[in-house]
Structure 1
Amino acid sequence: MDTAQIDTTSAQDYALETRDLGKSFAGFYAVKGVNLQVRRGSVHALIGPNGAGKTTCFNLLTKTLSPTTGKVFLEGRDITRLRTAQVAKLGLVRSFQISATFPHLTCLENVRVALQSDYGKSFRFWSPISAVSELNARAVELLERVGLANALDLTAAELSYGKKRALEIATTLALDPKVLLLDEPTAGMGHEDIEPITKMISEVSDGRTILIVEHNLSVVATLCERITVLQHGEVLTEGTYDEVANDPDVITAYMGGVDEL
């Protein structure tokens, strides 16, 4: 993309930005007028009660959906009309709410498959294993980073739910994203898994920009520097955790929901 198409002012401060972003379905706006600015190198949360438009917003950012209005910028580049694969190549990668790994491949093999794309290797599963053995060291490094050093030869199906999520994040990191979107990384986890995953996300955030949708607000409080609150598809407020938690409009929005501030 030509550098003339890059908003250098935006790129200097924000890794990810939306301007008047909106999506309507048969005239109903699930997301409307969202202006989001995620600072480079920060961990930023997108929260809100059920039906607030968080997942729709994520789908717009990663091009699973095309916006009805507005624009999306990645490091100052207008990516509004690009496809999912194109924005992934530019460094915007999403980890889904439901774990998306190959259940019958080992942890090492799962990460190595993801690395093949980054290293320009073709996905020829019938080739000799030596053809991709050079990727093993990097795969091991990524697995160690997410706490799976002792699970290299276990299949994804053998892992606990929390460790499956860790494996998914390792495969996402294999794509070397500039901006990592995490969709409810602790969803469905027991208390014993939440703390290790939270710690792991904190560790992998070093030098990386992360936007996270998360219902567990203690996780948000631990990880995130800035929080944007959505309600009925629109931005209700934005601020630090303390600012958001003490905002009367936010408290009202969450009353009667499954979350508590």
Structure 2
Amino acid sequence: MQTSAHLSGKEPRVVLSARGLSKSFGGFHAVKNVDIDVLDTQIHALIGPNGAGKTTVFNLLTKFLQPSSGRIELLGEDITKTAPDRVARKGLVRSFQISAVFPHLSVLDNVRVALQRPNGLATQFWQPLSALDRLNEQAEALIDRVGLHRERDAIAEDLSYGRKRVLEIATTLALDPRVLLLDEPMAGMGLEDVAMVAEIIKSVARDRAVLMVEHNLKIVSDICDHITVLQRGEILAQGDYATVSQDQRVRIAYMGTEEN
């Protein structure tokens, strides 16, 4: 996959990095000495078998867990000891495996609610819903961007599973993150929804970095610029798909049962 940075001839810069990232729970080492660089305008996949430490790495990077050792930098700033809410405000935003939208609100209202914080309205809870009308133009632009224009007025709980995940991506983008972390965005989707979400992620990565945990290796091979393979909390291999898929250790640990 060639990103916009590659096509322009510019080398994308590192926007999120970790060095020596480790996390222990008692005597169990969930993550051990992980080094990772996530580049702007690239899609970076974190893959590995169950129990490899992928979600723990996500939780460490987004500060839902404090590392036992190591250093994390966002846009060149040390965020190792920064609280999760402050990390999000600095531009590192994640989605979760379970859809996190307001089920009884419309698609438009979900996105308008998400736009409150970046527009300085997050604490003005006493205002009526009509006060969010000023956000309609921004909200509708986001809805169009992710292809939900036909569902603009639909209630979130009435959407298909795939469309709910797309709505979640839209609400995450409302925070205008510099780095977007997606935790298994294709999980539980049918083929049509997988293709749709893959195109949305490619579009999103044109102007920001994307780091995603994903089990669908076809999607990883199709859209990801860089791949980090974890096994038992340690990095097994890194590189583009062609490189890691030919690594015999990776084939044995993860890809051997899924490659044709």
TM-score range, shorter chain: over 0.9
Shift of 1:176: 0.2
CA distance in 2, matches of 1:244, 1:208: 24
Distance 1:172 1:255, change over 3 A: closer
Shift of 1:255: 6.2
The amino acid across from 2:41 in the alignment is: G
Matching residue of 2:192: 192
Matching residue of 1:173: 173
Secondary structure of the structure 2 residue equivalent to 1:154:
coil
CA distance in 2, matches of 1:44, 1:226: 5
Matching residue of 1:50: 50
For structure 1, the 5+ residue unaligned runs are 1-11
CA distance in 1, matches of 2:93, 2:84: 9
2:245–2:255: 8 Å Cα contact kept in structure 1? Answer: no
Shift of 1:190: 1.2
Structure 1 vs Structure 2 CA RMSD? 1.5
The amino acid across from 1:233 in the alignment is: G
The amino acid across from 1:90 in the alignment is: K
The amino acid across from 1:227 in the alignment is: I
Matching residue of 2:108: 108
Matching residue of 1:183: 183
Shift of 1:130: 3.2
The percentage of aligned residue pairs carrying the same residue is 56
1:227 aligns with 2:216: no
Matching residue of 2:7: none
2:93–2:180: 8 Å Cα contact kept in structure 1? Answer: yes
1:92–1:178: 8 Å Cα contact kept in structure 2? Answer: yes
Mapping of residues 58-97 of structure 1, within 5 Å: 58-97=58-97
Which runs of 4 or more aligned residues in structure 1 lie more than 6 Å from their structure 2 counterparts after TM superposition?
Answer: none
Shift of 1:25: 0.4
Secondary structure of the structure 2 residue equivalent to 1:132:
helix
CA distance in 1, matches of 2:13, 2:27: 34
Matching residue of 2:9: none
The amino acid across from 2:13 in the alignment is: D
1:237 aligns with 2:237: yes
CA distance in 1, matches of 2:39, 2:127: 42
Shift of 1:132: 1.4
1:43–1:225: 8 Å Cα contact kept in structure 2? Answer: yes
For structure 2, the 5+ residue unaligned runs are 1-11
1:254–1:260: 8 Å Cα contact kept in structure 2? Answer: no
Further displaced range: 114-123 or 171-180: 114-123
CA distance in 2, matches of 1:226, 1:220: 9
CA distance in 2, matches of 1:174, 1:255: 35
CA distance in 2, matches of 1:125, 1:76: 34
CA distance in 2, matches of 1:134, 1:21: 43
Shift of 1:260: 4.2
Matching residue of 1:4: none
CA distance in 2, matches of 1:13, 1:227: 17
Secondary structure of the structure 1 residue equivalent to 2:116:
helix
Shift of 1:49: 0.7
CA distance in 2, matches of 1:41, 1:200: 14
The amino acid across from 1:174 in the alignment is: A
Kindly provide the CA deviation profile for residues 175-215 of structure 1, in whole angstroms up to 9, marking residues without a partner as x. 00000001100001111211111111111111110101100
Secondary structure of the structure 2 residue equivalent to 1:200:
helix
Shift of 1:256: 7.4
Mapping of residues 119-130 of structure 1, within 5 Å: 119-130=119-130
Shift of 1:39: 1.6
Matching residue of 1:141: 141
TM-score (norm 2): 0.92
1:30 aligns with 2:30: yes
Give the aligned length. Answer: 249
Kindly provide the CA deviation profile for residues 133-157 of structure 1, in whole angstroms up to 9, marking residues without a partner as x. 1101100110111110011111110
Shift of 1:53: 0.2
TM-score (norm 1): 0.92
The amino acid across from 2:128 in the alignment is: P
The amino acid across from 1:17 in the alignment is: S
